Structures are given as structure tokens and as C-alpha cells.
Amino acid sequence: MSHDHSLNPKTMPEDPSKATMEGKHKFLGLWFFLGGETVLFACFFGTYLALRNSTAGGPTSQDLFGLDLVFLMTVLLLTSSLTSVYAIYHMKNNDFKKMMLWLGITALLGIGFLACEIYEFAHYIHDYGFTFRSSAFGSAFYTLVGFHGGHVIFGLSWLITLMVRNAKRGLNLYNAPKFNTFALYWHFIDVVWVFIFTVVYLMGMVS
Amino acid sequence: MTENTSTNKINSYQKEKNREEMRKQIITFALMIFFTMIAFFAVAMGISSMFVIPLILILAIVQVGFQFYYFMHMKDKGHEFPALLIFGGIWVTFLVGVTFVTIIWW
Amino acid sequence: MSNAATQKRAFSAVLWDYLTTVDHKKVGILYLMGGGFFFLLGGLEALIIRIQLIKPENDFITAGLYNEMITMHGTTMIFLAATPLLFGLMNYIMPLQIGARDVAFPFLNALGFWLFFSGGILLNCSWFLGGAPDAGWTAYAPLSIQSPGHGTDFYVMGLQLSGAGTLMSGINFLVTIVAMRAPGMTYMRMPLFTWTTFVTSVLTLFAFPALTVGLFLLMFDRMFGSAFFDVALGGNSVIWQHLFWIFGHPEVYILILPVFGVFSEVLPTFSKKRLFGYSAMVFATFLIAFLGFMVWAHHMFTVGLGPVANSIFAVATMAIAVPTGIKIFNWLFTMWGGSIVINSAMLWALAFIPSFTIGGMTGVMLGSNVADYQYHDSYFVVAHFHYVIVGGVVFGLFAACHYWWPKMFGRILHEGMGKLAFWTFFIGFHLTFFIQHFLGLMGMPRRYWVFLENQGLDTGNLISTIGAFFMTIGTIVFLINIVYTAVKGEKAPADPWDARTLEWTIPSPPPFYNFKQMPLVRGLDPLWIEKTEGNGKMTPAEPLDEIHMPNGSILPLIMTAGFFIASFGFIYQTDHKAWLIALYAGMAIAIGCMVIRSLKDDLGFHISKEELEREAD
């Protein structure tokens, strides 16, 4: 039995990320994990909703948030979601170079998002003195948004490790599932962000 | 992997299918950006919160639906269990959400 | 001399084998050993509690130590004994029942075990490092925020570690059941234990993240000065209660559903009848899980959530009695007209039915929110949950041990000792807890260090303590039985009980690849079908071919060690910033292991066809 899983147009299955048992397991496992992550973020959101007006005399959400930076961050992250779709598209067409290119763009957009977030936090801390310890609102805000940021950092490390490890190997049935699971995880980060910008920022500006 | 003769044909068919799929993804993305802009504009315009909050929540839910069903392919077959567990997670999310805005005592 | 040396090497080889194993059977045994150890520890704590309460105003232990005892007893029994013992059984048995060669993620499986175990050890380290957690197993804020010393910090970090391990195992089981069933094993042909494993894993997946979040909030408040539960800065301590019980109530179903599965295996086997109402049983399992998620606030009736919320949760709570009742009746009907064999496993199963039903009935009483104001925080509650958890889960674990011991260890547990253990434990259990219903109704509050003389509580508490000693004797007899069986026990054939499901088609104990050839499943109770049709064994679904197996790895252990060290860093960095070094070093070790795991291809190995043929049938 040959254990060489490298792909060429002749051996290319319809979806290389699900052609092996391991691939199927990874795919299911990650999805189920995301089901759990949904509850994890639900609890952070719930805590935030309960505490968002508990400012203890400190700055409120209306004092702090601005639309432009959040809009920029949203566009960055949404676009990175699209670029990872492109990467998987090229994976299915067995075009390794283009896949890596689009994954690279995804990483850059993710880093851009993270930079904005760091700038935002620094801005709140320096200009408003609004920290993790200022009020229950502060704790809940930084915990929710920070956990999302942590997920972005984890996703980026995952992506970069994958890209470095497989840079010279090309696509095969062993690493295709890994790229696919990363892409799913990355979309989920975007899902969470959609709710963060809606519930935290937009609703915080309104009420 | 033995059907050497027909490989090329399958591949071009497959490629066409993938391209079609990608076209849909881009439309999805355009809609998502559009919805995001509506949400941000609605808030920036300062319309009454009674109207804006339901609107932006609905837009967010639709966007997330796009993410799940198109970007993450939950519409494709073979996603029954992922869908089941995601919906389970959403159900718990709903319970948690309702709880934390209504019964946290004060 | 040389003989001793070989033996020593053999021992270290076995140890290394277990430290690096990713085999679901060995991981299962590790879970059983770890869980068993913590079960004994938790039992010892229970005994100390009962000795303290043997007479009015006793001073066997101090009030502070008593608080630590009750906290650690509850925490240990729920998180470190019951859950891992059940996960051990699931690990060992479930893949065999569906005809799989391993779980879907063997590496994660090992990691899950080590995380659980290190979490348990971490939690118990607190005894030697300035005092155990003392805010109750529920660790309600603000008490847990105020609790001095590092006890509660150990609670937070220990549970965080073991919770992460449990979550991983849950995902692992789900994927295994969805993707790795043998040919012909459709969902509605899966044994009930596999079904309950599946539903339990779903509950684990949705419940444990809530605990994770709650623990994070508590950790941030205690160690990093955030204000989630600090009312002065706008915090709200009811958030902790909600998060804890959103996790905590599904957790009791995580405990009870697998033993429902166990009884659904034991009762048909020893009644020689198929399970009555199989589809209703599956449906009831799902219904319990679904409703189980919507009742958490019945732990919080006296918080003051308002009459509407209380009523909704009360109705939902009582509704759970319906699917549970379906199950009880199905078990009774399974036995009806069967040719019943009464042995140790069956005794535990038979004792379970009335004991658990009493617990369920008091559960409905407690579920009535108006009446709950009377019962709340009294010994009535203590009696209730011990009836469901001991009368349900512990009885189930004993039944499962007797039932699957031959499969797991190749020897049959001694029947006489099994029965002796059963009767002493069973009598002791009812002595201990039945009287506590009345102590509670007479007004004895739970978690109190002492009670006063001549308030009508003296005799009841004495009886209760005597019962605890009977349970201790039962447990000791069971331990002796294990040792006796290991040394002199009767060797078990592949199918000692004339049973019905796939795990009994392979040798006891199974070879490390489980099934030489995937079996072809032709219906519910596949082995029984083959027996009734005169084949006696399974038809293979594939020709004999080489088998792909995963490689063992020491990385899960090292990764866990990293998290363990980092936890100490988290706990002590509040005292001195130098401890941050431990935090970073530990995290570096853990992340380093993850990186190694990602960078190193692990393609596993193959067992050749010749090798398989060489092994005697």
C-alpha cells in the first residue's frame, strides 16, 4: 500500500480535505468544537449584556466607541473571510501556489485587524483611563472582545505554522484537511465578530 | 482513481462547478458588506433605538447565516451533524441571552 | 537477581506504555484508575464529614476544615470521580460496541485524560499548600471572592484543566460515533450505552463551556482584579450562579445518562430479552437531555428571580419526570417474563430502580418552586441528590464494573464478594441517606459544622453515620475483590454472560486493534441475532487486510505538565511577580508541545496481514 498522498490532477478527489478518514474526522471534530465555542461566546455575551450599563461612574459605551475604527475592523475581518474562501477554492482546484497566496493575504488582513484592536484598547486605556479593572462594564468588555482577539491570535499562529510547515510540500491528502479546518475556524471568528460589532459596538452607540 | 480516460473530463466539470460556487461566494460577500453598511449607517443616522436595535440584530443574524451556509458550506450535504450541533449551540445561546437580559435579579 | 532486574524493566516498560498510550482501552483504564483513586479520596472526605456529625456539637475537625471537607467532597466526587469513571467506561466500551478500532482522535483522547488527572492532582495539592477550597462545591460568589488564601484559586485552575479534558473527550466521542460505526451499524441499531454516550457528549459539549466561562470570570476577579462579581464596581454575583448552573444542571445528566445506558445493557443481558421499547428509550434520552438544559434555575428558586421565571423552570423540571418514567417502565418491562439471572451486576441494577425512583420523586418535590422555599439548603436536598447520584450513578458504576470487568481485564469478579459488597453498600446507602430526608424536613440545614443537642436530630445523624460506615465496608470489600480477582480470578471467555452486543464478539481482553475484521451488523443486538440464527459469531464485512493504527506519544503528558506548571504560576503570581516565570515557562512547554505536534507528521503504523494471521483466533 502506498502512503504517498501527494496530489496531481489524476488523483485529485472532488474535495481533498474530506477524502481520508482523518480528514473527515477533523472536519466533524472542528464543527462540533465550534458548537461548543458558540456556547462559550454565548456566556461571554450574556455576561456583557448583563453588565454593559454597570459603569460605576466610569466611561460608558457612548463615551468610548467610535464607528469608523469598528467599521474598518469589520471590513478587514469580513474580507479575510472571503480570502480564505478563495484559498479553499484553489485547494479544490489543486492550485497550491494560489492557495498559499490567498492564505497569505488572509494572514495579513488578520494582522491588520489585530493591530486595530490593539490600537483601540490602548486608546481607551490612555485617553479615557478605561481599563479591565475600572468597572464591571470594563471587565466584561475587555473579556468578551479580548477573548475574540485571543481567538484571532490563535488562528493566526495556526495559519502561519501551517503555511511554514507545508510551504515546500505542496498539497496532499494529509495536509488538505488541516487547511480546511483552519478555514472553518477562521470563518467562525468572523461569525463571532459580526455579533460583537452588532451587540457591543452598534448597540452600545444606540442606547 | 482508475478511470484514467475520463479524468480530464471530470476535472473540467469539477472546475466549472467550483467556479460557479465561487461566484456565489462573492455575491454572498457583497451582500454581507452591504448589510454591514446598512447597520452602521442606521446607527450613524441616529434613528430611534426601538427600530434600530431589532434591525441590526436581524442583519447580524442574516449575515451569520450567510457565513455558516455559504462560506462554511453548511448548505452542502454531509453537514447534517455539524448543523445539528450548531443549532444546538444556537439554542443554548438563545437561552443564555434571554436569561442574562431578563433574570439576573437586578 | 537478574530475574528481579527483568521484572523491573518490564514494569518500567509497562509504565512507559501507559504514559505514552493513545489506545482507547488503555486510556479508559487510566480513567478508571484515576477516577477510582479520587472516588476513594472523596469517600474518605465523606466519612470524615459523617464522623464530625455523629453526635451533637462534635469537635472531631475544626469548622474551617469542615468547610474544606464538604467543598472537596462535592468537587472531587462530581468532577474527579463520577465523570472520569464514566468517561473511562465510555472510552473502553463505546468503540467496541460500534465496531471501531479506536476513537477518532486518539492523541486528544490521551491529552484529555492527562488534563483531567493533572486538574485533580492540582486541586488536591491545595491540602498541602495552605488549605483546600472552602466555598462549597458550587463556589458561589461573593463567598468565593472573599475566601482567603489560595484554596479557591486551586479550585478554579484545577477545574479549568479537568474541564478542558472532559470537553475534548466529549468531542472525540461524538466524532467517533458519527464517523466510525461498523458496516451495518445504523443509528437505530446502536446499543443504548452508545446512544447515551452520544447524548452525554452533546451535553458535555454545550455545558462545559459555561463552566469554562464562569471559571474564567472567577479567575479574573480573584487573580487579576476584574469586577464581574464586585458589587462596588457594578458587578453582579448572580451571573456566577447562572453560569455555574447552566453548566451544573446538564452535568447531572452527563452523570446519569451513561448509567441509564449501562442498565439498558445489563438488564436485557441478564433477562435474556431484548430491551423493551428501544426507540422510546432513545427518544427519552434525547428528551431528558433537551429538557435538562432548560431547568438550571431550579437551583436558584430562592434567589428571587421572580414568580414567572420560577414557574417556568418549575414546570420544565417536573416535565423531566416523564421521559425518566418512560425509562423506568421500559426497564421493568424488559425484565417482565424474562429468564432472569441474579448476579452482582444484576443486583446493582435491580437496586438502582427503586433507589433512583425515590430520588426522582424527591426531585419533583424540590421542583415545585413554592415548596422549595421550605426544602432549600436543608438536608432534604442532600438526601435527594445523594439518592440520584449514589443510587443512580454509583450503583450504575458498580453494575458496569461487574458487567464489563471480564471484557476489560479478562477475569470475572468474584461473585460472593460482589454480593457482599452490594448488600453492605446498599443497606449502608439507605441508612445514610433515607433518614436525611427527615432531618431536612425537621430543619437541619446543610453545610453546618455542628448541630445542637435535643433538637430531635441526634438519633438521625447517628444512624446516618453508621450507614456511612456500612458503605465504607462495601467499598473495601469491592477493592479486595479487585485484588483477589487480579490474582486468582476465574479467566473470562470472550462472552461470559451470553450477551448481545459487539464487544462480546472479540477476545477478553481485546487485542489492541480490537477487531481483526470489521463485523457486519445485521440488526439491533448483532451478536444475539447471529446466535439465534445459529452462526454464533459475526460475519466479517471485509477481507483480512492490514490495519492502520496511531502511534503512541509522550506529548500529551508533557503538554499537560506545562499547563500544570502554568497553573501554579497563575495562582501564586498574586503573591509575588516572580511566579510569572512559572506561568510563562509552563505555557511555553505546553505551546511548544502543540507546535511539535503540528510540525511532526504522525502517519501512524500498519499491522501487516501476516502478523494478523499469525495471531491465533
Of C206, C239, C309, the CB nearest to B92: C206
If pLDDT is split at 50, 70 and 90, which confidence band does C535 have?
Answer: confident
Q: How far is CA C266 from CA C261, C331, C406, C439, in A?
A: 9, 10, 14, 35
Q: How many residues does chain C have?
A: 617
Q: In 3-state terms, what secondary structure has residue A8? A: coil
Q: Tell me the mean pLDDT in the region C88-113.
A: 95
Distance CA(A176)–CA(A95), nearest Å, equals 12
User: How high is the pLDDT of residue B12?
Assistant: 79
Q: Which amino acid is at C466?
A: I
User: How high is the pLDDT of residue C1?
Assistant: 42
If pLDDT is split at 50, 70 and 90, which confidence band does C615 have?
Answer: confident
Residue of B nearest to A29 (CA): B82
Look at C309 and B92 and tell me if their CB atoms are within 8 Å.
Answer: no
If pLDDT is split at 50, 70 and 90, which confidence band does C251 have?
Answer: very high
C182 within 8 A of C100, measured Cβ to Cβ: yes
Distance CA(A102)–CA(A106), nearest Å, equals 6
C32 within 8 A of C87, measured Cβ to Cβ: no
User: How high is the pLDDT of residue C268?
Assistant: 97
Q: In 3-state terms, what secondary structure has residue C54? A: coil
User: How high is the pLDDT of residue C342?
Assistant: 95
* CA distance, residue C228 to nearest chain B CA (Å): 13
Q: Tell me the mean pLDDT in the region B87-91.
A: 94
Look at C305 and B88 and tell me if their CB atoms are within 8 Å.
Answer: no
Look at A35 and B33 and tell me if their CB atoms are within 8 Å.
Answer: no
Compute how many other C-beta atoms are within 10 angstroms of the C-beta atom of residue C267: 27
Q: Give the residue among B41, B38, B95, B89 at the shortest CA–CA distance from B68.
A: B89
Interface test with A, best of B38, B63, B75, B100 (most A CBs within 10 A): B100
Of A43, A135, A143, the CB nearest to C233: A135
Burial class (CB in 10 A: 0-12, 13-18, 19+), C188: exposed
- Residue C277, C-alpha cell as written in the block: 421499547
Is the confidence at residue C561, as pLDDT, over 90?
yes
Looking at the DSSP bridge assignments, the partners of residue C491 are: C411
Q: Give the residue among C153, C388, C445 at the shortest CA–CA distance from C256.
A: C388
* CA distance, residue A87 to nearest chain B CA (Å): 11
CATH code where residue A196 lies: 1.20.120.80
User: How high is the pLDDT of residue B3?
Assistant: 41
Is the confidence at residue C88, as pLDDT, over 60?
yes
Q: How far is CA A132 from CA A140, A197, C233, C236, C486, in A?
A: 8, 19, 11, 16, 56
What digits encode the pLDDT tens for the residues C114-129?
999 999 999 999 999 9
- State chain B's maximal CA–CA distance in angstroms: 72
What digits encode the pLDDT tens for the residues C467-479?
999 999 999 999 9
- Chains in contact with A, counting 3 or more C-beta pairs less than 8 Å apart as contact: B, C
Look at A35 and B21 and tell me if their CB atoms are within 8 Å.
Answer: no
Is residue A3 one of the residues assigned to a domain?
no
Is residue A135 one of the residues assigned to a domain?
yes
User: How high is the pLDDT of residue A207?
Assistant: 66
* CA distance, residue C565 to nearest chain A CA (Å): 21
- For chain C, list the domains and their CATH numbers: 21-553+602-614 (1.20.210.10)
What digits encode the pLDDT tens for the residues C438-456?
999 999 999 999 999 999 9
Q: What is the ipTM of this complex?
A: 0.94
What digits encode the pLDDT tens for the residues C368-388?
999 999 999 999 999 999 999
Looking at the DSSP bridge assignments, the partners of residue C547 are: C607
Q: Where are the domains of chain B?
A: 4-75, 77-106
C197 within 8 A of C177, measured Cβ to Cβ: yes
User: How high is the pLDDT of residue B17?
Assistant: 85
What average pLDDT is seen over chain C? 94
The reply to whether omega before C142 is within 30° of 0 (cis) is yes
Interface test with A, best of B31, B43, B62 (most A CBs within 10 A): B43
* C80 φ/ψ angles, rounded to the nearest 5 degrees: -110, -15
Look at B92 and C293 and tell me if their CB atoms are within 8 Å.
Answer: yes
Look at A45 and B93 and tell me if their CB atoms are within 8 Å.
Answer: yes
Is the confidence at residue C5, as pLDDT, over 60?
no
Interface test with B, best of A25, A26, A28, A81 (most B CBs within 10 A): A81
Look at A40 and C233 and tell me if their CB atoms are within 8 Å.
Answer: no
Distance CA(C334)–CA(C273), nearest Å, equals 7
Beta strand pairing status for C605-607 and C547-549?
A: antiparallel
pLDDT tens for chain A, 207 residues long, are 344 556 665 666 777 888 888 899 999 999 999 999 999 999 999 999 999 999 988 899 999 999 999 999 999 999 999 999 999 999 988 889 999 999 999 999 999 999 999 999 999 999 999 999 999 999 999 999 999 999 999 999 999 999 999 988 888 888 899 999 999 999 999 999 999 999 999 999 986
- Chains in contact with B, counting 3 or more C-beta pairs less than 8 Å apart as contact: A, C
Is residue A150 one of the residues assigned to a domain?
yes
If pLDDT is split at 50, 70 and 90, which confidence band does C464 have?
Answer: very high
Domain that holds residue A147: 16-206
Look at C179 and A25 and tell me if their CB atoms are within 8 Å.
Answer: yes
Q: Tell me the mean pLDDT in the region C481-504.
A: 94
Is residue A2 one of the residues assigned to a domain?
no
How remote is the C-alpha of C274 from its chain's centroid?
27
Domain count, chain A: 1
Burial class (CB in 10 A: 0-12, 13-18, 19+), A13: middle
Interface test with B, best of A38, A54, A186, A187 (most B CBs within 10 A): A38
Of C205, C305, C309, the CB nearest to B85: C205
User: Would an 8 Å CB–CB cutoff place A69 in contact with chain B?
Assistant: no
Burial class (CB in 10 A: 0-12, 13-18, 19+), C62: exposed
Look at B85 and A50 and tell me if their CB atoms are within 8 Å.
Answer: no
Is residue A8 one of the residues assigned to a domain?
no
- State chain C's maximal CA–CA distance in angstroms: 78
Look at C225 and A133 and tell me if their CB atoms are within 8 Å.
Answer: yes
